[in-house]
């Protein structure tokens, strides 16, 4: 294949390995703020309490080539024995934190909508309501707590 048979030179390899060397992972010895090899070796290794998978089917090459039946795979499953907080029989479901309010807060927007300089020491914002119901997890976690509530246990 001659040089004339090739397309535009802009997309042809340069013949050097310079780009690949630049993209190579950093050496932990030279990386700032990373653990060194000595630090990794000093940490040591804590083996598991009991061997995993040594006695199970599929550890040898012959067993891997043979494969497993569906019944054998189902036999290996371990059922969940713990009850979650909302699964307890005759339970009340998820625990409710008495310090959180029942009403979800909307979008909090600064008076200048975040475009001007900060002139006050306090955080000042107004509630603009829920933005189309498409709040992120952080926004959905914010709730309104009534001021001066004498008995926090009386809230739902």
Q: Which pair of tokens denotes residue 100?
A: 């959180």
Please report the pLDDT score of residue 8 as a whole number. 59
Please report the pLDDT score of residue 75 as a whole number. 86
- pTM for the complete prediction? 0.29
Q: Which pair of tokens denotes residue 82?
A: 């713990």
pLDDT in tens, the chain (156 residues): 555 555 555 666 665 666 666 666 667 667 777 777 777 777 777 777 877 777 778 888 898 899 888 998 888 888 877 766 566 666 666 666 767 777 777 777 888 877 878 777 787 888 777 766 567 777 777 777 777 655 555 545
- Helix and strand tally (H, E) in the chain? 5, 4
Q: Round to whole Å and give the CA distance between 67 and 63.
A: 6
Q: Locate the DSSP E strands across the chain.
A: 103-104, 108-109, 126-127, 143-144
Please report the pLDDT score of residue 12 as a whole number. 61
Look at residue 124 and give its three-state secondary structure.
Answer: coil
Residues 6+ apart with CB under 8 A from 129: 106, 107
**DSSP category for residue 66:** H
Burial of 94 (0-12, 13-18, 19+ CB in 10 A): exposed
Residue with tokens 């780009």: 19
User: 132 φ, ψ to 5°?
Assistant: 65, 10
**DSSP category for residue 115:** -
Identify whether the C-beta of residue 29 lies closer than 8 Å to the C-beta of residue 37: yes
């Amino acid at each position: 294949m001659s040089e004339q048979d090739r397309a535009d030179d802009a997309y042809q390899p340069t013949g050097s390995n310079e780009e690949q060397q630049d993209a190579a992972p950093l050496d932990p010895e030279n990386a700032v703020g990373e653990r060194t090899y000595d630090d990794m070796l000093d940490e040591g290794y804590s083996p598991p309490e009991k061997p995993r998978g040594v006695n199970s089917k599929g550890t040898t090459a012959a067993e891997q080539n043979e494969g497993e039946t569906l019944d054998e795979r189902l036999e290996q499953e371990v059922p969940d024995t713990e009850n979650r907080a909302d699964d307890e029989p005759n339970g009340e479901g998820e625990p409710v934190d008495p310090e959180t309010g029942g009403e979800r807060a909307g979008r909090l927007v600064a008076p200048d909508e975040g475009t001007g300089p900060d002139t006050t020491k306090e955080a000042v914002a107004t509630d603009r309501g829920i933005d189309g119901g498409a709040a992120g997890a952080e926004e959905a976690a914010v709730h309104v707590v009534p001021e001066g509530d004498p008995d926090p246990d009386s809230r739902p």
